[in-house]
A and B are shown apart, each in its own frame.
Chain A
Amino acid sequence: MPDPVLLDAPPEEQWQIDLERVGLLRRLLNGRKWYGVDWWMVVISSIMVVFFIVIAFFPGLLAPHDPLEQVGPRFLPPGDKPDAEVLLLRVDSPIESLADLAGQGRVPTAVVQGAPSSEDIRSEAERITQELAATGSDDRIRFRILRLETLEEVLAAIQAGDVELGAGSSQQLEPLMDAYPDVVIAGPISGEKGGKTFLLGTNQIGQDVLSRLSWGARIALIIGFTASIFSLVLGVPLGLFAGFTGGKIDRGLTLVMDSLYAFPGLILAIAIAAVLGPSIVNVIVAIAVLYIPTYYRIVRGQTLSTKESLHVEAATSIGATKTSILRRYIFPLVIPSVAIIFSVNIADAILTGAALSFLGLGLPPTTPDWGIDLARGQEFIQRAWWLITFPGIAVMLVVLAFTMLGEGLTEIFNPKLRKQ
């Protein structure tokens, strides 16, 4: 008599059911031991890719400013404090800040001609006036500006009582203050704007580099994704069709694709972009044409080998039609390798897009684009290293992330593809 314990023994498939209950997360984690380096590559690069995609959707998350607006002094190095622009007053002046001047008529004011402080004092006064107008008040701040050549002259004018107030940069003022005992620094012209730092510095027209970078990510990914999808949509069906039908159609298509492929990539893209003229759509078209053969070749190769496989022969023997063999027995097997090329392809497309912009063949010159920033920044390479370093790093990181993701996935899902 068999033991009752055995009657309750699980069926032979029990372990399989149990294993399928293992959570996806745990399986993913266990991949660490199974695939080693490739697993880490995929995880790190996916995090990077997700990061870039989030930035592309919400550039505002990283960008503190409008990428097209002048928001600070020109060529401000990364992280540096710009000179604080301060308000100068006589010791005995009743005024404490700019706001006190509202409604007082034209106040005589001394500034250095062309200095940032003269710009700042006027824009701050404008701001306060607008604020007051919003509350219903008619008061305005008005100046009678005395434009002078040097800061010493400004100080002297206040000392002498010729003007009520003045403005200047704190760093330049510091050695001069002792000579004008009646003049005091009242404080920054605006508490908010003065002394503002930029994490990655500003460019040659005072735009924030970080803001331009994050808006540039959007452009880069739009170009990368749309161009790759475009080549995929054309390359994959062509490859499937040529590989499956074979014969003359296959030979003709392959000849065309091979000649496209043999042409140096960038030169082809330059030619197409030059003919079409600069616009984002044309850049995408140029890049898409360039990468159609990549999909075509891989898909055709896979189709050819899958066509010979036993399960396709088995499908023939059950009487399946050609279209159903192509659709149900070949196409699903081609998808993983297409997904992998897609990732590497995006990286290539972004790089080519940046190269086209760098050469001035890509986008309209005002666009916040990494390639354009690189091209412009290159003029100032000795004066402002940050103008080309950060866009360069951004291009490198995004290309690295997509390539690593593609390569890592290849190793994991389709080791044979690499050997081809």
Chain B
Amino acid sequence: MSSDVLYSIRNLDVEYDTRLGGVRAVDDFSLDIQKGEILGLVGESGCGKSTLGKGMMRTITTPGHIVGGELWFEGVDLMTLSEKQMSGIRGNKIGMVFQDPMTSLNPLMTIVDHLTEAIRAHHKEVSQQAARARATEMVAELGIRTERIDDYPHQFSGGMRQRIMIALVLALNASLVIADEPTTALDVIVEAQFLDLLRGLRKEFELTILLITHNIGVVAELADRVAVMYAGKLAEVAPVDSLFLETKHPYSRGLLKSVPNIDVDNQELYKMEGAPPNLIAPPSGCRFHPRCPYAVALCAAEEPELTTVSGEQHRATCWIYSDRKDRPTDGLT
């Protein structure tokens, strides 16, 4: 099992300094990403999911910083690498796709320049012509018209730019892609097209993708496994079917039930009371307890640990699934 792990986050802590004090945006977070899977990471704004993605690439900038933890990638703890070694891994072994691709594309370079540079970064022996030919091929494969290869990034629409980002990742032959809200800025039809494209590519190139998003629907369509994050902590992680159909953590349940589903008639939306806590002063015990319908004294007093709840793959951080006498119950277990 563990031999298939591509990236392993162990006890990662990331803190931001604010005017009001330190904020643990990611708190003692551990998660494994298996080779070849699409792992969806969902949560509401401020839960620390984007910080986690940046932390995995060590690109957190002041006032934030990684306080501690280990980041094992291909047998190396990235935390022990120098900044120079790390920048060799970023963009080469770990590709990145952001919500706004313009931040990672050079506005003064044409698309073909971007791609040939990426190809030749790995295969120095490839001639300029050969690299161009390969780039043209890739662009065609991603549904971009080949005659637009000499255009500049700003001449493309948002959806096309996201495709270019994917082309870059493929050109670099990255073994892991971290996609942070890749479809959030896209319209629904373009989003659906992009998801179809990713689904096709991951089979062909055996891509491993960490898909960070707040859009539950996107995760349901694309991910193999889903991790739900709440207030800097991992709430639940499970294969996608098991997570959607046998949701265990009370927060995940509330979250999934509050998403409108166009296919279901007369669906009553779940109204989760309260708001996510501010992490300057997180609640004691389980961070979800002030909003949890099942919370008991134990939840406010002690913090639960990630436990296996059903099958080997389905784990949740909730007292309901412990064997304590004073545990809460949801009436199901």
Quick one: which of B21, B277, B296 contacts A30, CB cutoff 8 A? B21
List residues of chain A with CB within 8 A of the CB of B63: 33-34, 36
Q: A16-45 vs B: 1/0 string, CB under 8 Å?
A: 101100100001001101101000000000
- Chain B minimum-CB-distance residue to A33: B17
Q: CA–CA, A15 to B274, complex, Å? A: 12
Interface: A9 (CB within 8 A): yes
> Do residues A30 and B17 form an inter-chain contact, with CB atoms below 8 A?
yes
List residues of chain A with CB within 8 A of the CB of B290: 6, 9-10, 12
Chain B nearest Cβ from A20, distance in angstroms: 9
Question: In the complex, how many residues of chain A place their beta carbon closer than 8 angstroms to a beta carbon of chain B?
Answer: 18
Chain B nearest Cβ from A42, distance in angstroms: 13
> Do residues B278 and A16 form an inter-chain contact, with CB atoms below 8 A?
yes
> Do residues A30 and B275 form an inter-chain contact, with CB atoms below 8 A?
no
Number of chain B interface residues as a range:
10 to 19
> Do residues B278 and A15 form an inter-chain contact, with CB atoms below 8 A?
yes
> Do residues A5 and B300 form an inter-chain contact, with CB atoms below 8 A?
yes
List residues of chain B with CB within 8 A of the CB of A27: 19-20
> Do residues B297 and A3 form an inter-chain contact, with CB atoms below 8 A?
yes
> Do residues A19 and B278 form an inter-chain contact, with CB atoms below 8 A?
yes
Quick one: which of B280, B296, B297 contacts A19, CB cutoff 8 A? B280
Known contacts A3-B295, A34-B63: A15-B19 contact under CB 8 Å: no
List residues of chain A with CB within 8 A of the CB of B277: 15
Known contacts A5-B297, A6-B300, A12-B275: A22-B20 contact under CB 8 Å: yes
Interface: B62 (CB within 8 A): yes
Q: CA–CA, A15 to B297, complex, Å? A: 20
> Do residues A36 and B62 form an inter-chain contact, with CB atoms below 8 A?
yes
List residues of chain B with CB within 8 A of the CB of A9: 290, 300
> Do residues B300 and A15 form an inter-chain contact, with CB atoms below 8 A?
no
- Chain A minimum-CB-distance residue to B63: A34
Chain A nearest Cβ from B320, distance in angstroms: 14
- Chain A minimum-CB-distance residue to B300: A5
List residues of chain A with CB within 8 A of the CB of B18: 30, 34
List residues of chain A with CB within 8 A of the CB of B289: 6
Chain B nearest Cβ from A125, distance in angstroms: 68
Chain B nearest Cβ from A30, distance in angstroms: 5
> Do residues A15 and B281 form an inter-chain contact, with CB atoms below 8 A?
yes
- Chain B minimum-CB-distance residue to A14: B281
List residues of chain B with CB within 8 A of the CB of A36: 62-63
- Chain B minimum-CB-distance residue to A2: B295
Q: CA–CA, A19 to B289, complex, Å? A: 21
Q: B7-26 vs A: 1/0 string, CB under 8 Å?
A: 00000000001111100000
Q: CA–CA, A33 to B264, complex, Å? A: 50
List residues of chain B with CB within 8 A of the CB of A19: 20, 278, 280-281
List residues of chain A with CB within 8 A of the CB of B281: 15, 18-19
Chain A nearest Cβ from B299, distance in angstroms: 8
List residues of chain A with CB within 8 A of the CB of B300: 3, 5-6, 9
Q: CA–CA, A5 to B295, complex, Å? A: 10
Q: B273-286 vs A: 1/0 string, CB under 8 Å?
A: 01101101100000
List residues of chain B with CB within 8 A of the CB of A15: 277-278, 280-281
Chain A nearest Cβ from B300, distance in angstroms: 5
Chain B nearest Cβ from A219, distance in angstroms: 39
Known contacts A6-B300, A18-B281, A19-B280: A34-B275 contact under CB 8 Å: no
List residues of chain B with CB within 8 A of the CB of A12: 274-275, 290
List residues of chain B with CB within 8 A of the CB of A2: 295
Q: CA–CA, A19 to B282, complex, Å? A: 12
Chain A nearest Cβ from B274, distance in angstroms: 5
Q: Which of B221-280 contact A (CB under 8 A)?
A: 274-275, 277-278, 280
List residues of chain B with CB within 8 A of the CB of A31: 19
- Chain B minimum-CB-distance residue to A36: B62
List residues of chain A with CB within 8 A of the CB of B275: 12
Instruction: List 23 A-B residue pairs with CB atoms under 8 Å apart, sorted by A's residue number.
Output: A2-B295, A3-B296, A3-B297, A3-B300, A5-B297, A6-B289, A10-B290, A12-B274, A12-B275, A12-B290, A15-B277, A15-B281, A16-B278, A19-B280, A19-B281, A27-B19, A30-B17, A30-B20, A30-B21, A31-B19, A33-B17, A34-B18, A34-B63
| A→B interface (CB under 8 Å) | 2-3, 5-6, 9-10, 12, 15-16, 18-19, 22, 27, 30-31, 33-34, 36
| B→A interface (CB under 8 Å) | 17-21, 62-63, 274-275, 277-278, 280-281, 289-290, 295-297, 300
Apart from A5-B300, A12-B274, A34-B18, what are 4 other A-B pairs with CB-CB below 8 Å?
A6-B290, A15-B281, A33-B63, A34-B63
Per CB-CB distance, the 8 closest pairs between chain A and chain B, nearest first, are: A33-B17, A15-B278, A3-B296, A12-B274, A15-B281, A3-B297, A30-B19, A5-B297
